[in-house]
Amino acid sequence: MYLRDNKLVTCVVSPNKGTWEVTWASDVKTPKDFKASGLNETVDQAMREIAAMYAGTPASVEMELQFAIYPFRGKGSTVLDLTRDIDGFSVTDSTSVPVSLRAPTLEAVVAEATARPDHDDWMFHWVIPMTQLPSA
């Protein structure tokens, strides 16, 4: 299910000269773009910042945060679904490429993906309801 544009905040995460860069894209107000050192740190900071911005607002009940993580050189034409549970992260795609990865951290997911010969054009897609984001 996809929400209307004003209910979806997209956070684009990509490497940039030894750091990870966040660029926000949305029809609603977003935090400032930023850079951080590790992928986990970057994603966690993005979650905290957007959660703090919308905490306690009626809009947060209907909004979702969408991550578009581009960890490799390619354009990300192969979109893989990323999910998180208590044991870490899972990456799956059953539509175009038979992929199944599991790792405790996002950095480990990227390392696992790097071992695959077809990884360069992958990107990770992760959607989280705002109500499920950690508090700031």
Structure confidence at residue 1 (pLDDT): 38
Confidence band of 77 (pLDDT split at 50, 70, 90): confident
Q: 87 vs 74, which has greater pLDDT?
A: 87
Structure confidence at residue 97 (pLDDT): 63
pLDDT tens digits, 20-66: 999 999 989 999 999 999 999 999 999 999 999 999 888 888 999 99
H and E: helices and strands count for the chain = 2, 8
What distance in Å separates the CA atoms of residue 17 and residue 9, rounded to the nearest whole number?
25
Q: How far is CA 5 from CA 9, 39, 61, 65, 132, in A?
A: 8, 26, 15, 11, 19
pLDDT tens digits, 94-128: 666 667 889 999 999 999 999 988 888 889 999 99
What distance in Å separates the CA atoms of residue 128 and residue 93, rounded to the nearest whole number?
18
Strands (DSSP E) found in 17-121: 19-25, 34-36, 64-69, 78-85, 88-93, 99-103
Q: In this structure, what token pair is assigned to residue 29?
A: 């107000």
| pLDDT greater than 50 at residue 3 | no
Structure confidence at residue 40 (pLDDT): 95
